[in-house]
Every structure is written in C-alpha cells, then in structure tokens.
Amino acid sequence: MMARALAGVVPSQPKEFAAFVVDEETRAAVLQAAAEAGLVEPHVAQSKFEDALRRLRKIPTPKILVVDLGGCPDLIADITRLSEVCDEGTHVIALGDVNDINLYRQFVSFGLHDYFVKPIVPANLAAAMTNAGKETEAATPTDQVGHVVSIIGARGGVGASALAVNVAWTLANEHKRRVALVDLDLFFGTCGLALDLDLGRGFREALENPSRIDGLFIERAMMKCSDKLFVLCAEEALECAINFDATAVELLIDHLRRDFQFVIVDMPRFAARTQSSILTPPSSVAIVTDPSLAGMRDTMRLVGLLKKVAPKAEPSVVLNKSGANSSAELTKADFEKGAEAKVSLVIPYDPKTFGASASTGKALAKVAAGARVTKAVASLAGRLVAIKAPAAKGKGAGLLQRFLGGARA
C-alpha cells in the first residue's frame, strides 16, 4: 500500500545495491555496469575482501551485492564466510581472477547469483545485475515487507518511548526478528539514551534530503544496538530548525520495512497528524497513556484524530503506570467509557525496575526478567509476532541456507 503511495517517488529499478572491489579498473567497470542496469546512486567502495566482510557484518546487506574476491587465498572458504554475513534475499555476484569452470559451477551450486572473471565486461555484469534485480522483486511479495508499529504517547512522560524501546528490544533479542527502532523526536527523543547508544549522525540529513534516502544512506545513519536491533535517533541542537516533510518519513519507513521485519516508530503526538500513511494498515498503532483524567481526555482526542486522518488504523490503547497514584486514577472501565476506546494492555507502575533500566541503559528484560512490567512488554511483543509471523531472517540465514541447501535453478 505504502509502496503504491510512493509510486513515482521511489525508482522502480532494483533499489539496493553495493559493491566492494579491490582495484580502480574494476570499480570503473562496476560503476558503468550499474549505470547500464539502471541502478540509482550505486555505492561502489574500493576495499579489500576482509574490510568488505567487516563492513557487511555491521549492516543490513543490500539486495544486490557485488564482491571482488581478487587476491583471496581460499575462494571456497571466503565465499562461505561471505555467506555468513549476508541477509536473506541478498543476491551476490562475485568477481575474481581465477578462470576455472569447476570453481564457477561450485559457486553457482552454492547459491551465488553469478561469477565474473576480471577484467570485467560492464555489459555482462549489467545483465547479471538486472537479472538479480528481477529475482529480488519477485522474491519480495508486499505481504512480506516489515510490519510498522507506531507508538504514540497521549501525554508527555507516560512511557511511550520506554515501551517502544523495550518492545523493539524484545522482538530483536527474544524473538530474533530484525528490528529498526526509529525515534521521530529529533530534538528530545530518548530511545538512544535508553539503550546507551552513541548518537547517530545523518538521520536529520536523511529526512531533509529525501531524494538521497536509500539503503546505504540509512544504514550509515543507523546505530547498531545488537545483531538484530538497529536504531535511528538524533539529538539535534534546540536552536536548529529542521525542514522535512511527511513524505521523507514515509520514504524512510518504506525503505526500512524492506530490510527489517519490524519497524518500531516512537512517534511524537504532533506527528500523528501528518504521518497518516505510516499509521495506516498493515501497520499497528499503540496509544500509550496513564490512567489519569487528562490521559483519558487526550486518548479520546487522539483516537478521534486517527479516525479522521487514518480511519483504518484501529489503534490499541496501553494503560501504563497503573497504580502510580491510585487515589487519583481512573479505573480501567471508567477510562474506557470516557475515552470511548478499549484498553488492550495494562502495565503496572514499577519505578524500581524502570529506574534500574534507565540508570544502566539496559532493557527491562536484562535488569528484571521476571518483573510484571517485563512480562507485560513481552506479551505486547508476542502479540506483534503473532500478527506478523514470518520465518526468522538474518545474517547467515539466507545465503547460508541456500549455500547449504543446494543449487539454484
């Protein structure tokens, strides 16, 4: 749906491509091939195989990957190591110096998309890239794109960011899903802080230059929290104005959902008005609130707003910090009646566990696995996994599977 909304903005050719080559001559040939294949803004790095491996280990690998094996001492072992750092869906085209038909057959039987002996003829490489692009598109049906979960606080300080962080962490570390956590509050966001991450650079530039948003541009702006959890956050100077529109966020999320199984968005309230497309199914929306009168009023207002801007959103309401101030709190039934919305989850007030989590920069599950708040977060993550239950993907799971599993057609 979102891809359709973006038609005309996103180029229809294969979207994500990167190459690692060892010499200048090969780099020029790969660039020419990429241009002939219609790949937009190709990223071609000149680096040795070991450096390429190191880099690929840290990032979501692109849909089409060209790797130069020139100078590698043990090609079969090196191709196996390469398979271990590639995500499912990555098509690898290798380049090398060895002209040996048996080696070529072995590579192809391992699941490598193609192999070319140097010097590279750009037209041949371009044909292989085009072919890999078609396979990529055929292999990515729209119902397999990542699920977007937007978490919106009805009021300040109700725990929306804490929930976003912990749901993302649980999906990544306990359900082994590939997760992108996006903190759309570029000034005051706390997701990076909560996970004790250094601040990412480039998030703001990505949003301000939507035409430059592509897989590698985003990947450079992302902070890696664990093998499966990547975070986009910022702490922009308060005196700076940021100029970006809803389309940039939409484009960013659209890219992320192609690479991640879940995209968790910590969304400031004011953004809910403009980001209607990412709030529309197949996304999920959770409104987090405390059980106060003001929380009830603002939940009702937010539900009303969503009915107007994203009528199909069907937000769930999470009542957080229940029991913090029992004498002034609404009961669940009164809250639901007043807010005209059902509460789908109640999370107790637990300053000890949240305090330990905040002071150590660790997720709730790390500091208190058995706590009721941790279990509540786990149940939310579990429900999301049940909505969207694709097989676990990840480093090594794709190419390696194919490597072990046999020949391609």
Ligand X SMILES: Nc1ncnc2c1ncn2[C@@H]1O[C@H](COP(=O)(O)OP(=O)(O)OP(=O)(O)O)[C@@H](O)[C@H]1O
Q: Which residues bind ligand X (CB under 6 A)?
A: 153, 156-162, 190, 320-321, 347, 349-351, 354, 358, 373
Positions 134 through 163 that interact with Mg ion (CB under 5 A): 161
230 binds, among ligand X, Mg ion, none (CB under 5 to 8 A by kind): none
For residue 161, the minimal CB distance to ligand X (Å) is: 3
For residue 155, the minimal CB distance to Mg ion (Å) is: 11
Pick 78 or 350: Cβ nearer ligand X:
350
261 binds, among Mg ion, ligand X, none (CB under 5 to 8 A by kind): none
Strand order in the sheet with 284-289: 223-224, 229-232, 179-183, 262-267, 147-153, 284-289, 316-322, 343-348
Pick 112 or 287: Cβ nearer ligand X:
287
Phi/psi of residue 284, nearest 5 degrees: -115, 150
Q: Which two tokens stand for residue 113?
A: 């998309």
For residue 349, the minimal CB distance to ligand X (Å) is: 4
Helix (H) or strand (E) holding 106: helix 101-110
Q: Which two tokens stand for residue 131?
A: 């072919």
Pick 90 or 161: Cβ nearer ligand X:
161
For residue 153, the minimal CB distance to Mg ion (Å) is: 6
Tell me the sheet residues that pair with 319: 289, 346
Pick 55 or 332: Cβ nearer ligand X:
332
Applying CB under 5 A, the site for Mg ion has a residue count of: 1
Q: How many CB atoms lie within 10 A of CB 396?
A: 15
Binding mask 158-197 for Mg ion (x = CB under 5 A): ---x------------------------------------
By CB neighbour count within 10 A (0-12 exposed, 13-18 middle, 19+ buried), where does 391 fall? exposed
For residue 304, the minimal CB distance to ligand X (Å) is: 20
Tell me the sheet residues that pair with 17: 64
The string of DSSP codes covering 235-279 is: ---TT------HHHHHHHHHHHHHH-SEEEEEE-GGGGGT-HHHH
Helices (H), 21-74: 24-36, 49-58
For residue 235, the minimal CB distance to ligand X (Å) is: 13
Tell me the sheet residues that pair with 288: 153, 318
CA–CA distance, 296 with 47 (Å, rounded to integer): 56
Contact 364, 166 (CB under 8 A): yes
The identity of residue 187, as a single letter, is F
Contact 195, 165 (CB under 8 A): yes
Please give the residue whose beta carbon sits closest to Mg ion in the complex.
161
Pick 52 or 225: Cβ nearer Mg ion:
225
Give how far the C-alpha of residue 299 lies from the chain's centroid of Cα atoms, to the nearest Å: 28
By CB neighbour count within 10 A (0-12 exposed, 13-18 middle, 19+ buried), where does 311 fall? exposed
Pick 313 or 368: Cβ nearer ligand X:
368
DSSP assigned state of 7? B
For residue 165, the minimal CB distance to ligand X (Å) is: 8
156 binds, among ligand X, Mg ion, none (CB under 5 to 8 A by kind): ligand X
320 binds, among ligand X, Mg ion, none (CB under 5 to 8 A by kind): ligand X
For residue 54, the minimal CB distance to ligand X (Å) is: 35
Query: Strands 223-224 and 229-232, how do they pair?
Result: antiparallel
Pick 213 or 381: Cβ nearer ligand X:
381
349 binds, among ligand X, Mg ion, none (CB under 5 to 8 A by kind): ligand X
Pick 162 or 207: Cβ nearer Mg ion:
162
Pick 78 or 266: Cβ nearer Mg ion:
266
Binding mask 293-332 for Mg ion (x = CB under 5 A): ----------------------------------------
For residue 182, the minimal CB distance to Mg ion (Å) is: 13
> Looking at 81-133, which runs of residues are DSSP E strands?
91-96, 114-117
Pick 61 or 190: Cβ nearer ligand X:
190
11 binds, among ligand X, Mg ion, none (CB under 5 to 8 A by kind): none
CA–CA distance, 66 with 61 (Å, rounded to integer): 11
275 binds, among Mg ion, ligand X, none (CB under 5 to 8 A by kind): none
CA–CA distance, 389 with 62 (Å, rounded to integer): 23
For residue 69, the minimal CB distance to ligand X (Å) is: 47
Can you give the binding site for Mg ion, defined by CB under 5 A? 161
